[in-house]
Amino acid sequence: MAFEKDYALYYDAFYHDKDYVAECDFLEKVFQKYSSQKINTILDIGCGTGGHALELAKRGYAVVGVDASETMARTARKKAEELSKIDVRFHVSKMEDMNLGQRFDAIICMFNAINYLTSDEGLDKAFHNFRKHLSDKGLLVFDFRNGITSLRSYSPVRTKWVTHDDKRLLRVSETKLDAMEHLYDTTYTCLAFEDDRIIQEFQDRHVVRYLFPREVKSFLKRNSLQPINMCKFLNLEVPADENEWNIVAIGTGSR
């Protein structure tokens, strides 16, 4: 299972270079360009440790976060408590099962969170749920791993070193590609070093489904969501193409 306790605790260290400020700048550009109403409320699905949710809350939005991992949500709550005048509610739920009893002006689902749904049924349930929680004129913004580049640029082994407190962390990713089922099956082996001694070792398995633009549009349409645009990650002015690892999809609940 992905994002088990040990991996979730080191999540922010492994992704310390992720620029949440720039990504929220981009999201605001999407809101300004495509929303026919003022965006006040945002639902962050697959919110992780709260990187987007907390940054957007700082900018004055009323944000609710949802994540399937209890450890990730707990970390997000702790970070929210450490910030003054920030009130973000974080819930634990799978995106295909959530029922918050509330509709939002915008829904975001970032960092390829949608790719963790590997079946058509799961994707349909999630997009149906997105529509249920989205106001009629609301915006849906999410990014996804592009199937074209996933096939072209498959790399079976990768390594990453990071520093966390007084520890050095090594993450070795070993990926198996299932081209017929459109799956990346990655096992992360993580080692924590202190004074050149291994003090912790654990594994975390992530199975994700890469998606193709045409099928994403199909999932949106059959769940009463209207595709508006697909663009290069963090660049609204550049249309998505076959060279992009991550594609941003923008849709609406308007009919």
Outline which parts of the chain fall under CATH 2.20.25: 149-209
pLDDT at 15 over 70: yes
**Nearest alpha-carbon partner for 128 in 220, 254, 65:** 220
CATH 3.30.70 describes domain 149-209: no
Outline which parts of the chain fall under CATH 3.40.50.150: 5-145+211-252
| Per-residue pLDDT tens over the stretch 134-186 | 999 999 999 999 999 999 999 999 999 999 888 999 999 999 999 999 999 99
Length of the chain: 255
**Nearest alpha-carbon partner for 186 in 71, 14, 12:** 14
Cα dihedral sign, 201-169-3-149: negative
Averaged confidence pLDDT in the chain: 96
pLDDT number for residue 255: 59
pLDDT number for residue 1: 58
**What is the topology classification, in CATH, of domain 5-145+211-252?**
Rossmann fold (3.40.50)
By the 10 Å C-beta count (0-12 exposed, 13-18 middle, 19+ buried), 38 is classed as: exposed
